Amino acid sequence: MTLTALNQLKKLTTIVADSSDLAAIEKFRPLDATTNPSLITAAANQAENLELIQSAFAQARNEKYEDDELIERTIDILTVKFGVEILKLIDGRVSTEVDAALSYDTEATVAKAKELLALYKAYGVDQNRILIKIASTWEGIQAARILEAEGIHCNLTLLFGLHQAQACADAKVTLISPFVGRILDWYKKAENVDAYPIDKDPGVLSVKQIYHFYKQHNIKTEIMGASFRSIDQVLGLAGCDLLTVAPNLLAELDQDTRIVKAQLSENQVSENNPQDLVALNKESFKQAIEHDLMSSQLLQGGIDGFIKAREQLNSLLRQSFGIDAEIKA
């Protein structure tokens, strides 16, 4: 029997589903799953999830929330409800994202993370099965530092460079999600290039750099490659701690029969001339972001995109439940 690329990859790397599509998660049975506002909004548009949406709205209303707060609470409850349903299908963890509008507010991020965890607890979910997903801004990383010190595990997302990875390591976060595809997209546009060979793919090389840096310094934070445009990118990072992959690419990997070899391994990390571990403060971190046009544009663009996705979900729920009509009346 020929092993598919997906089956081979699972022997080298923990595969995570980058999806809120319950049917896809049930089909591919990953160990973990990740969600984000865009994925939650897409799932909320599926007719089969109507009952989940209605129950989230009813719960928020029963908690006596009104007007704008009613919809925002509904979104939080719905996000957690999707997480609960996903956890029924997997053995590992689900990543649940804090409202991206809070990305530059440490205290508000900590408070929202605890609100989400309280909802999970009310549904009987063990806290250790939840990763609180936070954008890798300075303020977000400091929020993660506080949460991790309290035993709350975090996944730092929208990560595009070594400076962010270093700050996350210093904060002792559980997991980081360096992006691959968005880096590739940026360089293709910036350099007017149609494609890169996989060994020169800027997104793949960025994750490899972070992987080697972490392993050279014995940093325990898990590395989960994210944001893939092709199965070649996924396979180019075979051996990474974790890879979170969208269902369409999981399906391609499940049909592919090429031989998969590890591209990353702790045993192959050179101990010669490791890059220095730099202690970043707020000023030096902000300077590093500002001096890296790619990172600065993609970080802010990613935050803006997630805010927009949440606003779209807000509008969808308002329309579905006639909230604006109620307020005007």
Burial (Cβ within 10 Å: 0-12, 13-18, ≥19) of residue 7: middle
Rounded to an integer, what distance in angstroms lies between the CA atom of residue 298 and that of residue 274? 27
Task: Determine whether 312 is exposed, middle or buried from the number of CB atoms within 10 Å of its CB (0-12, 13-18, 19+).
Answer: middle
Concatenate the DSSP letters of all residues of 48-63 into one string. Answer: GGHHHHHHHHHHHHHT
For residue 261, the tally of other CB atoms under 10 A from its CB is 10
Q: Which of 10, 81, 112, 133 is the catalytic position?
A: 133
Q: Is 133 a catalytic residue?
A: yes
What are the distances in angstroms from CA 226 to CA 18, 61, 135, 158, 262?
8, 36, 13, 9, 17
Other CB atoms within a 10 A radius of the CB of residue 72 amount to 17
The sign of the CA dihedral 142, 144, 147, 149 is: negative
The SS3 call for residue 317 is helix
**Which residue, 85, 73, 89, is CA-closest to 49?**
85
Task: Confirm if 165 and 159 have CB atoms less than 8 A apart.
Answer: yes
Contact, 74 vs 56, CB < 8 A? yes
Nearest partner of 77 among 101, 51, 58, judged by Cα: 58
What is the rounded CA–CA span in Å between residue 53 and residue 78?
A: 6
Rounded CA separation 174/328 (Å): 46
Residues belonging to the active site: 133
